[in-house]
Structure 1
């Protein structure tokens, strides 16, 4: 390759690098949550239910303790999953459950589950949920009070916020042991700026500036709206 060619390609390489990094900064490096991959693999390939049970011989194998999770006491709240990755006993059973702990004004930002329908039961608090199933169907808003239930069909976009100045607790049941979660905003801002601008119908849209404060996935929960924070005296 000639010196002239290098001089031409270098600015293009730098531009590509800067464009990609400016929008991808909010995405975390992927890391598997699976605690016992060999056991998961053995459970999935067991010839019979009897053989499967033999792989889980202890009483402790059939128990999951949410309070032992490192995010249980997170100040912003957390989504704590008892699924194939963390609770091998559910591997292959097509079911899992998650504890949703929302701090005062806590929020689960816009996301979807690509492989599961999600039924959420409110235990405490006053939580508002929003769900969009597909183009054209509109938004479904639900006010969840204790002992009330709502459903988010598989792959539907949804979000929720605790409206109280006290923590709220919800239980999420999913019909998959590996439901997956896709947070919409960090994912969208991982693509090149000009593509984001085109999606917004504005080539001058400054995607890097708008997206620089998008929270990382983190514990799954963040602090929500400015109105709630002002009402509850939250400064973060």
Structure 2
């Protein structure tokens, strides 16, 4: 049996606990239990839900609530929100990408920002501008154009090159590209970096003709270009290893402050008929290829 001093100590402790601030009581009654790996490969399971049928597909921490708190919540109608419930929507005035980046979880981003099923579709046909150059264009799906890509680490470009058109030499600042031709063929060139040389100790120009359903990679930061050597339209797709891959057109960037003709051609795509304007700033192989293509297709130079 309890003696008088024991009973007095229990009453004193209860008095102190009831007088403590609410936030302290909540802190005492809430604990976080690190999840443990169950003996299967189906995912992570918390200590609270360790039965074979209670597997979680994500690594998370489980908040345990005392029975007293549960009873109080039930009595007052303030039941805790179900697991996975979205947090309040991000304040307006921000782009979708900004709202996604500010979301606490991917679940919140999908529930509160990417609310429509149409947010997960990007139409390359509708995104075409048929420019800036007459030789074709490349339509890019980065996270700005397609916010659903935010956080995925992947982007995409689709290229449309007209007869004898070429995509001028450029690099991607933050991504490796895998170009796949889906219609026609392109002549591809890549200069990787200093030190990659041919037998003559000159920078190696990796040049290939990529046929339909063939592919070639362009390493991050490597200078590369494509041109259409035929009189027909060409289409290629190009997955990139970043949702914000970037592009720097070398000739236009280098000469942008020096020559009005070069400055006027700031687009990525050049009509082959303008080849003479760019002879000094594009590779010899591309220039000669475009020359031959123009003759074959009966296209006059401007």
Fold conserved between structures, TM > 0.5: yes
TM-score range, shorter chain: 0.7 to 0.9
Residue 105 of structure 1 pairs with residue 164 of structure 2: yes
Residue 217 of structure 1 pairs with residue 266 of structure 2: yes
- Which residue of 150, 166, 184 maps to 2:232? 166
Residue 61 of structure 1 pairs with residue 61 of structure 2: no
Give the drift of 1:72.
4.4
**How many pairs align?**
183
Considering only aligned residues, what root-mean-square deviation do their CA atoms show, in Å? 2.0
Give the drift of 1:183.
0.5
Q: Structure 1, residues 93-132: CA drift from partner, whole Å, max 9, x if none?
A: 1111111000011100010001000000000112110001
Q: Structure 1, residues 55-100: CA drift from partner, whole Å, max 9, x if none?
A: 1011110011111124248742110011112111101211111110
Q: Which residue of 2 aligns with 1:39?
A: 96
Give the drift of 1:46.
1.5
- Which residue of 238, 241, 249 maps to 1:183? 249
For 1:106 and 1:144, how far apart are their aligned partners in 2? Answer: 15
Q: Structure 1, residues 14-67: CA drift from partner, whole Å, max 9, x if none?
A: xxxxxxxxxxxxxxxxxxxxxx96111111222111011111011110011111
For 1:154 and 1:37, how far apart are their aligned partners in 2? Answer: 30
Report which structure shows greater RCO (CA 8 Å, sep ≥6).
Answer: 1
Relative to structure 1, is the Cα distance of residues 161 and 67 closer, same or farther in structure 2, using a 3 angstrom cutoff? same
Q: Which residue of 1 aligns with 2:76?
A: none
Q: Is contact 1:119-1:149 (8 Å) kept?
A: yes
- Which residue of 113, 123, 134 maps to 2:182? 123
Relative to structure 1, is the Cα distance of residues 67 and 157 closer, same or farther in structure 2, using a 3 angstrom cutoff? same
Q: Is contact 1:66-1:72 (8 Å) kept?
A: no
Question: Which structure is larger by alpha-carbon Rg, 1 or 2?
Answer: 2
Give the drift of 1:216.
2.1
Q: Which residue of 2 aligns with 1:230?
A: 295
For 1:184 and 1:83, how far apart are their aligned partners in 2? Answer: 20
Q: Is contact 1:127-1:160 (8 Å) kept?
A: yes
- Which residue of 103, 107, 118 maps to 1:50? 107
- For structure 1, the residue ranges without an aligned partner over 5 or more in a row are 1-35, 194-207
Relative to structure 1, is the Cα distance of residues 99 and 37 closer, same or farther in structure 2, using a 3 angstrom cutoff? farther
For 2:138 and 2:169, how far apart are their aligned partners in 1? Answer: 14
Q: Is contact 2:183-2:236 (8 Å) kept?
A: yes
TM alignment of 1:199-210, pairs within 5 A: 208=259
Q: Structure 1, residues 188-217: CA drift from partner, whole Å, max 9, x if none?
A: 1135x5xxxxxxxxxxxxxx4xx7256623
Give the drift of 1:226.
2.1
For 1:118 and 1:57, how far apart are their aligned partners in 2? Answer: 30
Q: Which residue of 2 aligns with 1:135?
A: 194
